[in-house]
Amino acid sequence: MSPSARPLSHSASIAAAFLAAAERSPDKPCLLFEGERITYAQLRDQALRWAAALRAWGLRPQERVALYLENSPTFLASYLGTHLASGIVVLVNTQYRQVELRHILSDSAARLCLTDAAGQAELARVSHELTALEQVIVADTAASFLAVAQPAELPPPNPDDVAVLAYTSGTTGRAKGAMLTHANLVANSAAVTQAWRWSADDTLLLALPLFHVHGLCVGMHGTWLLGANAELHRRFDATAIYDRLLADGRPQPGQGHGEGQVQAHRHHQGHDQGRITMFFGVPTMYTRLIAEAERRLAAGEPLPAPLRLYVSGSAPLSVHTFETFERLFGQRILERYGMSETIMNLTNPYDGERRPGTVGMPFPGQQARIVDVRTRAPIHHETPGEIQVRGPHVFKGYWQRPDATADAFADDGWFNTGDLGWRSADGYFTISGRARELIITGGYNVYPREVEEVLQTHPAVAEAAVLGLPDSEFGEQIAAAVVLEPGVTATAATAEQLVDHCRDQLASYKKPRRIFFVESLPRNAMGKIQKHVLKEQLDHQA
C-alpha cells in the first residue's frame, strides 16, 4: 500500500497507540535524551507506574494534572501516565510566572502539579491562592510518589474524554483552556503522519518545548502513533542542533545540495536506526540555524547532509528565510499552519510545490474555507477573508467557557480561526494577518492586554498600549507605547525599569523589547485606542 493510500489510525487514544507500539516492538528505541536510550518497553513501564501512582493518590477520571516541566523523559512518562489514569493534562509553559500560573492553575482547578526545583519556587509565590492544588511533585524527587503503587494496566480513556487543556490567548479576556479530546489528538496525528509520509523508520530531532502542542501533539504523538523514534533535546541550541545534524553525514565545505540529491534522500528507505530524518521547528530556529551555517562556512566547515523533511510552524516563515535556508541547506522547508484549538489545519505538500509565503492545503480528512468577515458567507478564490476549518481535529470547546465556545463556531459548525487569508485558484492558502490582536513572537503567543495590565501596575505608568512590530528574527517583537505619570522623566533607565517589571511578573518572552514614551494614545470617538494608528506612529519612530 502506498503512503498516500494508508488508512487513518483507528486507535482510541494516543496512549493506546503508544501501548500497541510497545507491544509490537518492546526493545525498539523510542527516545534518545542526553545520551540516554529509552526503549518503548521502558517508557511504557514508567508510564504505567505513573498511572498507578496517580490512581493510588486519588486522581479521578477527568481531573486535572498540570505539567510545569522542561523537556525530559519524566514529562513524557507522566503525560502518558495521566492519560492512562483517565486524567486531563494541563500544559504549562515553563516561562510562566505568577500572573500566568495563578490564572491557569486556578481556572483548570488542577489538583496536582509536576514541576522542577525552579518551578516549585515559582509556585510557592502563588500557592496560597490555588485552593484546588493539593500537591506539587518535584520531578527529581518523584520516586517516593511513584513507590506507592506497582505498574498495572488500567481501563483505557474514552475517545471523547478531554485529554489536554492547552491554554491559548484570544482577543478578549484572559487565556482560555482549549479542550482537546483523545479523538482530536488521534485524528490530528493520523492526518499529519499520512500527509508527511511519516513512518516507523523515521527519527525526529525535536528541540521544541513539550508544553506546546507543536512539540508534544505533533512531534511526540506522531512518533508514538507509528512506533517511530525521537531524539529529544531539553531546549533549542543552534550550535548543538547543527552539530547533531552534522553527525549524520558531512558533505564538502560550502557544497550545497541540488534538488536531485534531496529527492534521492527523501525517498530512501531503511534509514539507519537513530539516523535523524526529520526536524520540526519555528521560524526563529531556522534563522538561527542559518546564522550558524554562515558562521561555520566562513570558518571553512561543512554543511549538514540533507534530511528527509524540515517542517516550520507556529509563526509565519518569511520568504527570505525560506529561500536562504534552501540556498544553504539545499532543502525546501515544509511550512504548515495550526493553532492550539486544532493543532494542525493546513500544510504545504510533501510531494509537489512547497510554495514560500503560503501554508498549503488542508490535511487529509480536514476542510478549510474563506468567509467574508462581515457577512460570514463563503467567498471565492483569491478573495481575502477569515479562515474557517472543520474536521475531527477541531477541539471540543473552551474549558468552563460556553460563551467563548459559542462565539468560536459558526452556525454550520465551522471553527472561526480568527486569522485572515486567501486561497489561490490551485488551492494554496496564504495567511495575510490576524483578526485578533494576538502577537506571535518566536513561535509563542502573547496577548497584549496581559502585558498592558502588568505595565499599568507600575507607579510610573499612566496608561500603556502593547502591540507587535515586525522583527526579522522573531517574526514580531513586543512594543509598548507608554504614557508616564506627571513628573516622571522619560529616560532609558525608566524604560529598563518597565521591562524589568514585566520580566518579574510574566514569562520573559512577553516583556516589551521596545518602550516608546508618548504624550497620549490615539483614540476614536468612543474612546477606544486605535492600535492601527499607533502602529503607524511607532513604525516611523522604530
Residue 182 maps to which CATH number?
A: 3.40.50.980
3-state SS class at 203? strand
41: enclosing H helix or E strand: helix 40-57
DSSP 87: -
Domain end residue (candidates: 177, 205, 233): 205
With beta carbons less than 8 A apart as the criterion, state whether 9 and 186 touch: yes
Alpha-carbon separation of residue 283 from 361, 473, 476, 537 (angstroms): 20, 8, 11, 27
Domain end residue (candidates: 184, 205, 226): 205
pLDDT at 437: 73
Q: Does residue 36 register a pLDDT over 60?
A: yes
Lowest mean pLDDT among 91-95, 264-268, 456-460: 264-268
Q: Show Cβ contacts of residue 19 under 8 Å, excluding neighbours closer than 6 positions.
A: 44
pLDDT at 249: 57
pLDDT at 216: 98
Q: How confident is the model at residue 273 (pLDDT cuts 50, 70, 90)?
A: very low
Neighbours of 95 (CB within 10 A): 14
pLDDT at 436: 66
Name the grid cell of 159: 475517545
Average pLDDT over residues 205-225: 98
% of the chain at pLDDT higher than 90: 78
Any domain includes 230: no
Q: Does residue 446 register a pLDDT over 60?
A: yes
Bridge-based pairing state of the strands 135-138 and 162-168: unpaired
Q: What is the 3-state secondary structure (H, E, C) of 95-148?
A: CCCHHHHHHHHHHHCCCEEEECHHHHHHHHCCHHHCCCCCEEEEHHHCHHHHCC
DSSP 214: I
Q: Which of 210, 205, 204 is nearest to 227 (CA)?
A: 204
Return d(Cα 37, Cα 29) in angstroms, integer: 7
Average pLDDT over residues 213-228: 98
For residues 289 and 268, the model is more confident at: 289
What's the burial of 60, exposed, middle or buried (CB within 10 Å: 0-12/13-18/19+)?
exposed
Neighbours of 483 (CB within 10 A): 16
With beta carbons less than 8 A apart as the criterion, state whether 191 and 366 touch: yes
pLDDT at 9: 56
Q: What's the whole-number average pLDDT of the chain?
A: 90
For residues 148 and 262, the model is more confident at: 148
Q: Does residue 464 register a pLDDT over 60?
A: yes
Q: How confident is the model at residue 202 (pLDDT cuts 50, 70, 90)?
A: very high
Average pLDDT over residues 424-436: 86
| In 259-385, alpha helices (H) | 259-266, 283-298, 319-329
Q: Does residue 532 register a pLDDT over 90?
A: no
Any domain includes 389: no
Return d(Cα 122, Cα 392) in angstroms, integer: 37
DSSP 499: H
pLDDT at 149: 79
Return d(Cα 89, Cα 94) in angstroms, integer: 15
Any domain includes 356: no
pLDDT at 212: 94
- Write the single-letter amino acid at 34: E
Q: Does residue 354 register a pLDDT over 70?
A: yes
Average pLDDT over residues 33-48: 97
> Looking at the 3D structure of the chain, how many domains does it have?
2
Sign of CA dihedral 33, 273, 212, 107: negative
181: enclosing H helix or E strand: strand 176-181
Return d(Cα 9, Cα 196) in angstroms, integer: 15
Q: Which of 98, 44, 92 is nearest to 64 (CA)?
A: 92
DSSP 225-279: HHT-EEEE-SS--HHHHHHHHHTT----BT----HHHHHHHHT--SPPTT---EE
Sign of CA dihedral 188, 194, 195, 198: positive
Average pLDDT over residues 282-298: 96
pLDDT at 323: 96
For residues 285 and 6, the model is more confident at: 285
Bridge-based pairing state of the strands 112-115 and 135-138: parallel
pLDDT at 296: 97
Which residues make beta-bridge pairs with 280? 206, 311
Any domain includes 170: yes
For residues 452 and 523, the model is more confident at: 452
Residues in the chain: 542
| In 385-530, alpha helices (H) | 402-408, 448-455, 492-505
CA atoms within 13 A on the CB side of 228: 29
- The domain that holds 521 is classified in CATH as 3.30.300.30
Domain end residue (candidates: 178, 205, 232): 205
Return d(Cα 450, Cα 441) in angstroms, integer: 15
Average pLDDT over residues 386-394: 98
Q: Does residue 440 register a pLDDT over 90?
A: no
Lowest mean pLDDT among 41-50, 185-194, 264-273, 298-307: 264-273
Any domain includes 467: yes
Q: Show Cβ contacts of residue 23 under 8 Å, excluding neighbours closer than 6 positions.
A: none
Return d(Cα 146, Cα 303) in angstroms, integer: 45
Name the grid cell of 79: 503525560
Residue 486 C-alpha from the chain's centroid: 42
With beta carbons less than 8 A apart as the criterion, state whether 133 and 112 touch: yes
Average pLDDT over residues 125-149: 94
Write phi, then psi, for 431 (nearest 5 degrees). -85, 125
Residue 442 Ramachandran class (φ > 0 left, ψ -120 to 50 alpha, else beta): left
Tell me the per-residue pLDDT of 144-180, one tens digit each, with 9 for 90 and over. Answer: 999 987 777 788 899 999 999 999 854 345 789 999 9
Any domain includes 22: yes
Any domain includes 402: no
pLDDT at 171: 38
pLDDT at 380: 84
Name the grid cell of 322: 525560506
Q: Which domain holds residue 499?
A: 440-541
Any domain includes 234: no
